[in-house]
């Protein structure tokens, strides 16, 4: 008992210290992610990995921590996967390589003698999916760490109930290390987990949950496993559904995750992390109680239904276009959308891309000077014209003879100037178009 508490305190302090030491050299090396126009250094997950593995190794070597079956193999596989994640932070490896490495590590730790080969292969697929989903949670300050801490306590409780003492101690040390890291990752974040820390955390949690549920029925285990990782699963489902509906490539980064959409509804960044952490805690409590047999398996359907309701509610929330693009969307759903990329000067081509498939350009002609237009067919029988003006403006002309000039300065809000009636701001354009034309819902400039 006392040795476990000492290990957790040591992991917390060591992770906080290493995260503070890593920040400056990583930032100078240029390994940073851009969040809301500010650079956030990556590779902070190396502090979590080092703190967790070193504390567990020292405690196990000194005989202070319990020796549980599978804990050493689990920690070793997660550490190797963290190295792959670190390489992804440095060289921007494709997701397919991360998925392949995760699958190999998962195939090494799954207990096939207890699960059987078919269920073991399903467990490998589930571990890969949850690990990549946790990587996706690192899009907001404090979110991945908060959900990771809550999930680690829940999975650790399930492991302790199965007398997997080594796995339970490993997860408690991980939770402490993530707590120390959150001192630097809470908004405004001074360092991020990166692929190194998010893959390590997601893999440890998913694999430990599989170990705890091995030997149980397939359907109840699936419900418990989803409840323990409900927020990560809902975020992944939301991203896949939104990008499929919008006909956007799955691998193309965009601000369309859970926290992004909650902020569009008015929540602050810390508020979104706290809310999602609370939702995660609710799912974890249901999963732990169902695993211990204290509640019926029917309660797991409430978690699945709540996650699905959250996805359906947020998938319709509009997300801003990428930096340097202007999004025009007509009524009728995300499929009727066009993205206009400003050319940056006269004589340059204005590209217009309809949301009918990745990389498909529709109705784009070169604009060789002021007055030359590029016609974009949005819906059958409805056209809008985009041309580059003398001030490098994009002029959006809709049916009915009404035109609207939208200036596209980089890094600034769009200035909207309807002919003969100056109105500024995106809200002014939305109001103007909704009342007079009724065809453009939103115009956004990154």
Terminal Cα-to-Cα distance of the chain (whole angstroms): 53
DSSP state of 140: S
Nearest by Cα to 107 from 97, 98, 117: 117
Digit-by-digit pLDDT tens for the chain (446 residues) are 677 888 999 999 999 999 999 999 999 998 888 776 678 999 999 999 999 999 999 988 887 777 665 788 999 999 999 999 999 999 989 999 999 999 999 999 999 999 999 999 999 999 999 999 999 999 899 999 999 999 999 999 999 999 999 999 999 999 999 999 999 999 999 999 999 999 999 999 999 999 999 999 999 999 999 999 999 999 999 999 999 998 888 888 888 999 999 999 999 999 999 999 999 999 999 999 999 999 998 999 999 999 999 999 999 898 775 554 444 443 444 434 444 444 343 333 333 443 333 333 333 333 333 333 333 333 333 334 343 333 334 444 444 444 444 444 433 333 333 334 333 444 444 443 333 333 333 333 33
Return the HEC string of 369-419.
Answer: CCCCEEEEEEECCEEEEEEECCCCCEEEEECCCEEEEEECCCCCCCEEECC
* Interatomic CA distance for residues 48 and 44, integer angstroms: 7
Closest CA to 198 of 98, 97, 92: 98
pLDDT at residue 53, rounded to an integer: 95
Encode pLDDT of 342-383 as tens digits: 434 333 333 344 333 333 333 333 333 333 333 333 333 333
Residues 255, 36: Cα–Cα separation, whole Å? 10
**Residue 442 burial class via C-beta count within 10 angstroms: exposed 0-12, middle 13-18, buried 19 and up:** middle
Instruction: Supply the DSSP string of 184-240, one letter for each residue.
Output: HHSSSPSS--HHHHHHHHHHHHHHHHHHHHTTS-HHHHHHHHHHHTHHHHHHHHHHH
CA 382-384-389 angle, 5° bins? 170
The predicted pLDDT at position 250 comes to 85
> Is the separation of the CB atoms in 284 and 228 below 8 Å?
yes
Edge-to-edge strands of the sheet including 337-341? 351-354, 337-341, 326-329, 442-445
Count, residues in the chain: 446
Smallest CA-to-CA distance from 337 within 379, 373, 374 is with: 379
Q: Return the closest-CA partner of residue 297 out of 305, 306, 287.
A: 287
Give the Cβ contact number of residue 38 at 10 Å.
10
Nearest to 143 by CA among 40, 20, 226: 40
Query: 38-41 and 373-379 as β-strands: parallel, antiparallel, unpaired?
Result: unpaired
Give the CA radius of gyration of the chain.
Answer: 25
């Amino acid at each position: 008992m006392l040795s476990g508490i000492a290990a957790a305190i040591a992991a917390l302090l060591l992770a906080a210290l290493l995260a503070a030491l890593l920040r400056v050299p990583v930032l100078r090396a240029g390994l940073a992610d851009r969040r809301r126009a500010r650079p956030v250094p990556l590779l902070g997950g190396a502090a979590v990995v080092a703190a967790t593995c070193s504390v567990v190794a020292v405690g196990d070597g000194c005989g202070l921590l319990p020796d549980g079956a599978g804990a050493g193999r689990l920690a070793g596989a997660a550490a190797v996967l963290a190295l792959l994640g670190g390489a992804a932070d440095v060289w921007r490896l494709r997701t397919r390589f991360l998925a392949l490495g995760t699958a190999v590590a998962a195939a090494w730790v799954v207990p096939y003698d207890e699960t059987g080969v078919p269920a073991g292969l399903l467990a490998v697929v589930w571990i890969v999916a949850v690990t990549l989903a946790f990587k996706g949670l690192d899009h907001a300050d404090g979110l991945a760490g908060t959900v990771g801490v809550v999930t680690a306590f829940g999975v650790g409780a399930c492991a302790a109930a199965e007398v997997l003492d080594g796995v339970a101690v490993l997860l408690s040390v991980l939770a402490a290390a993530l707590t120390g890291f959150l001192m630097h990752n809470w908004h405004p974040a001074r360092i991020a987990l990166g692929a190194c820390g998010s893959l390590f955390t997601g893999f440890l949690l998913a694999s430990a949950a599989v170990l705890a549920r091995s030997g149980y029925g397939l359907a109840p285990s699936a419900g418990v496993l989803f409840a323990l990782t409900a927020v990560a699963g809902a975020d992944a489902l939301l991203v896949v559904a939104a990008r499929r509906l919008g006909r956007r490539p799955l691998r193309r980064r965009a601000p369309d995750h859970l926290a992004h959409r909650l902020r569009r509804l008015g929540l602050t960044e810390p508020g979104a992390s706290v809310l999602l952490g609370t939702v995660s805690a609710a799912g974890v409590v249901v999963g732990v109680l169902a695993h211990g047999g204290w509640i019926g398996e029917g309660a797991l359907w409430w978690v699945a239904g709540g996650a699905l309701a959250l996805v359906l509610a947020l998938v319709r929330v509009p997300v801003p276009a990428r930096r340097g693009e202007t999004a025009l969307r007509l009524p009728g759903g995300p499929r009727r959308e066009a993205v206009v990329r400003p050319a940056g000067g006269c004589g340059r081509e204005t590209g217009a891309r309809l949301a009918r498939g990745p990389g498909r350009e529709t109705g784009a002609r070169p604009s060789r000077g002021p007055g030359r237009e590029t016609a974009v067919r949005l819906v059958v029988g409805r056209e809008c014209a985009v041309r580059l003006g003398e001030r490098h403006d994009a002029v959006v002309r809709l049916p009915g003879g009404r035109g609207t000039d939208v200036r596209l300065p980089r890094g600034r809000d769009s200035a909207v100037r309807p002919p003969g009636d100056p109105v500024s701001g995106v809200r002014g354009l939305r109001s103007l178009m909704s009342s007079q034309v009724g065809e453009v819902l939103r115009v956004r400039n990154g």
